[in-house]
Structure 1
């Protein structure tokens, strides 16, 4: 992989957690599912939040890249939450972190679990840490932010309205991958957390597994391809032209971590580090 930055590090600490706790007390967050489903797909990533030192710069970048629009919640001068919309649907949020202590951004994934208390207890038992204690937000659900035993940050969520039904559309979330420092340990951990089955994909140049539930492919797992980077969940965004997107991202100040390459998924994928340092992937997907 032609990674241009081999020493990427994400910065998220208890100071960030304090910021999140303060903001949660003042802001009515949007529901996970805009149209209540009352159905749950446990193990599915159902929400994404971008933690970034510069929300304004981030919003400009993603608006230019994908046409995303935003609604800002909270009063100016206090901690604000910027809801991300794609084609009028809320798909995530953006929150500011301290740029002095946290110079890089990160996308945080929220995973659906049947019982947040049990999920947090399981994580603690297996050696993970609770970064943001369990809280319930009216209309949104119960959640907690943790660091798993391999160091990846993940939010456990049980939505009040059920999990959203995902429709494949451009400029929206397509996929999620766990890049882990310990592949075997992560496979065991997540299969104990939610009713995943981990199925190995044959014919890959590096070991790659799919987390599945009820026959549905929910996310991928692979050994972390970036040297000196801790474990992390990386979101994918669906696009129609990965080369054009990569070129545009560079003009907007992003770093191309993995350039489109015919030998990697038939030239359909690129990995990008946004101007504030948050990695994400883009991929063409026609199925």
Structure 2
């Protein structure tokens, strides 16, 4: 598998400028449409794609998954909200194609207190990329780099957290590929009320981060040499082979082909045309 996620050198500055603009002028769709406001700390509740070519990315994901978009802000600093049917599930943020030739998906995890989560990240040796700020319609959020090098956003939503569900062509799972499994497990169990549990049926050591009986995300040793730690989002599909084949025809690259010895052939890992990796998986439970 080949993927480039090492060092987006001006990411901090570009996201700072983008979010400063957004804080002042943009109202975001709520994370939850439920009448009751409920929180599920530790749940990953949103995904943003940073990409050097938003138009190409939007066309790719629309053709592959049927996603639609609503653009907020001006053309050069637009934030493109992703919809799966009527549900807002993520956003697309532009980056400079010259300085940032590849994209990446950024995950947002629900926390009770964003400011305290950032303080904890600093205490543990992480970096603050965008300080805690409030966004109209969204709530309070911050972007950090955890002590093992992975980017993660902390969020406390105005509308509560969306229900845990796995709609077709939407988010199914999130997995941390880390260069320090023990360090990551120790870190994230301090971010949210996670308990870690090793899953013995996997081919490689695999850890589940759970809250009570809820399985919220996975942690495994980074399988890609010379790549910093990163979060990998999963998207639920009905037919992994046909989606992988279509992705290839749309200009994507396959990092991991479906194969029987890995989760019974239900998983593939794809890089979109701008280099952002994501996984697809069949899930019938």
Q: TM-score range by the shorter chain?
A: over 0.9
Find the aligned partners of 1:104 and 1:280 in 2 and give their Cα distance: 13
Counterpart position of 1:203: 201
Counterpart position of 2:49: 50
* Residues 13-22 or 23-32, more deviating: 13-22
Q: Summarize the Cα distance change of 1:36–1:100 in structure 2 as closer, same or farther, 3 Å threshold.
A: farther
Find the aligned partners of 1:158 and 1:36 in 2 and give their Cα distance: 17
Find the aligned partners of 2:50 and 2:3 in 1 and give their Cα distance: 21
* Residues 91-100 or 20-29, more deviating: 20-29
Q: Summarize the Cα distance change of 1:63–1:107 in structure 2 as closer, same or farther, 3 Å threshold.
A: same
Corresponding residue SS for 1:92: strand
Given candidates 69, 77, 102, the residue that maps to 1:79 is 77
Find the aligned partners of 1:16 and 1:249 in 2 and give their Cα distance: 29
Question: In the TM superposition, what whole-angstrom CA distance separates every residue of 1:179-209 from its partner, at most 9, and x where no partner exists?
Answer: 0010000000000111100000012221100
Question: In the TM superposition, what whole-angstrom CA distance separates every residue of 1:87-106 from its partner, at most 9, and x where no partner exists?
Answer: 11100000101111111100
Find the aligned partners of 1:243 and 1:156 in 2 and give their Cα distance: 34
Q: Indicate yes or no: 2:48 matched with 1:59.
A: no
1:74, distance to aligned residue in structure 2 (A): 1.1
1:10, distance to aligned residue in structure 2 (A): 5.5
- What are the equivalent positions in structure 2 for 1:62-141 lying under 5 Å apart? 62-76=61-75, 78-141=76-139
Find the aligned partners of 2:70 and 2:239 in 1 and give their Cα distance: 27
1:8, distance to aligned residue in structure 2 (A): 5.0
Asked if the contact 1:68/1:85 (under 8 Å) is kept, the reply is yes
Asked if the contact 2:197/2:210 (under 8 Å) is kept, the reply is yes
Given candidates 169, 183, 198, the residue that maps to 2:181 is 183
* Residues 196-205 or 7-16, more deviating: 7-16
Find the aligned partners of 1:202 and 1:192 in 2 and give their Cα distance: 24
Asked if the contact 1:8/1:228 (under 8 Å) is kept, the reply is no
Corresponding residue SS for 2:220: strand
Asked if the contact 2:26/2:136 (under 8 Å) is kept, the reply is no
Asked if the contact 1:105/1:278 (under 8 Å) is kept, the reply is yes
1:9, distance to aligned residue in structure 2 (A): 3.3
1:214, distance to aligned residue in structure 2 (A): 1.9
Counterpart position of 2:32: 33
Unaligned runs of 5+ in 1: none
1:140, distance to aligned residue in structure 2 (A): 1.1
Find the aligned partners of 1:97 and 1:175 in 2 and give their Cα distance: 26
Q: Indicate yes or no: 2:153 matched with 1:155.
A: yes
Asked if the contact 2:138/2:159 (under 8 Å) is kept, the reply is yes
Unaligned runs of 5+ in 2: none
1:33, distance to aligned residue in structure 2 (A): 1.3
Q: Summarize the Cα distance change of 1:229–1:68 in structure 2 as closer, same or farther, 3 Å threshold.
A: same
- CA root-mean-square deviation: 1.3
Question: In the TM superposition, what whole-angstrom CA distance separates every residue of 1:110-164 from its partner, at most 9, and x where no partner exists?
Answer: 0000111110000000000000011011321100000000000000000111101
- What are the equivalent positions in structure 2 for 1:220-239 lying under 5 Å apart? 220-239=218-237
